[in-house]
Amino acid sequence: MPFAQLVIGPPGSGKSTYCNGMHQFLSAIGRKCSVVNLDPANEATSYPCALDIRNLIKLEEVMEEEGLGPNGGVLYALEELEGEEGWEWMESGLKGLGEDYVLFDCPGQVELFTHHGSLRNIFMRIQKMGYRLTVLHLTDSYTLTLPSLYISTVLLSLRAMLQMDLPHLNVLTKIDKLANYAPLAFNLDFFTEVQDLSYLLPHLAEEASVTRHTKFEGLNNAIVELVQDFGLVSFETLAVEDKKSMMTLLQAIDRAGGYAFGGAEGANDTVWQVAMREGMESMDIRAVQERWIDNKDKYDELDRKEWATNQQSSTSLDDAGGGVDIDDEEEELAKYIPNSGVTVVRRS
């Protein structure tokens, strides 16, 4: 039974960067992984693409032939993928991946995962092939800095959860950049746990003169009550270049999708598989606040020193001819430096 992540989120939330980073991370811990690009506009993927929708249909060709804009072209492309010829191509490609753990890099148009049916229909057909799916909804953590953006994000996340109807995790990306922005109105756990949003209403009123108008008061209260009545939304955090952050998120994904429970015997589990199940080096939200907001510079310096020490130790072992005879898995663990091992290639 193969497992897969369905990576959704608005433009700029870091979907392709995440897929690239998670592919590298999974490869480093010995989990065979493939990435599928479902975005017909993504012509330059930073990750090795096992299956690419652009081999079936390209956005620029759709726009030219059908006279559509970018958003309409993406919708058209996914409807084509959902059709008989498109699905035959998709099904054949996925079967060729065998039991690989799959990351699906999805388009960023929010209507695709809030009310349009094509993406959901594709997910359901993938599920019928035997895949255990987990939706990963990425959002830039910058949205925490403005009450209006945050409340909009919570609403969008709630709508996507109801639309997709699958195991679902909402993730605040680029958490390592949060210290560079304006101070948050509350501690990080207020936002990740989506606590009593009524406390945000005074801050919302102060954000802009238009939001102070009495006609918005009832609307704001209704939105807050709606979110809290459902009680579904919460957030994980991610700094894609940090090992502990990647590991903590992967543990949450594995629990949500069932991967964490593994095979009944567990006799052939690798060191990394055991570590992932046992919660190795995970971070709770207080540790995230401490690491990335309250004392980021201090921890950055500690990481640099630890990395330098590990490099020196590795060099010394190489000069001594290896020193200790250890197996491949232990060697991989011994070499692992404080970052995630992920190399992020950012688009210019």
| Bridging pattern class, strands 49-52 and 101-105 | unpaired
Distances (CA, A) of 310 to 44, 304, 333: 34, 10, 12
Render pLDDT for 192-216 as a digit per residue (tens, 0 to 9). Answer: 999 999 999 999 888 887 777 777 8
Q: What is the rounded CA–CA span in Å between residue 342 and residue 348?
A: 19
- Say what the pLDDT of residue 79 is: 94
User: Which one-letter DSSP state was computed for residue 339?
Assistant: B
The DSSP 8-state label assigned to residue 114 in this structure reads T
First to last CA, the chain: 39
Residue with tokens 């809030």: 114
pLDDT tens track for 258-291: 998 765 434 445 555 555 555 555 789 999 999 9
Confidence of residue 143 (pLDDT cuts 50, 70, 90): very high
- Confidence class for position 139, pLDDT limits 50, 70, 90: very high
Exposure of 320 by Cβ count < 10 A (0-12 exposed, 13-18 middle, 19+ buried)?
exposed
pTM of the model: 0.86
User: Cβ–Cβ contacts within 10 Å for residue 225, how many?
Assistant: 12
Identify which of 147, 119, 143 has the alpha carbon closest to the alpha carbon of residue 12.
Answer: 143
User: pLDDT tens across 226-267, in order?
Assistant: 999 999 999 999 999 999 999 999 999 999 999 987 654 344
The H helix count followed by the E strand count for the chain is 14, 7
> For residue 250, which phi and psi values (nearest 5 degrees)?
-65, -35
Q: What is the mean pLDDT of the chain?
A: 86
Q: Residues, the chain, total?
A: 348
Q: Is the dihedral of CA 171, 173, 179, 184 positive or negative?
A: negative
Mind listing the pLDDT tens digit for each residue in 80-130?
999 999 999 999 999 999 999 999 999 999 999 999 999 999 999 999 999
Sign of CA dihedral 103, 105, 106, 109: positive
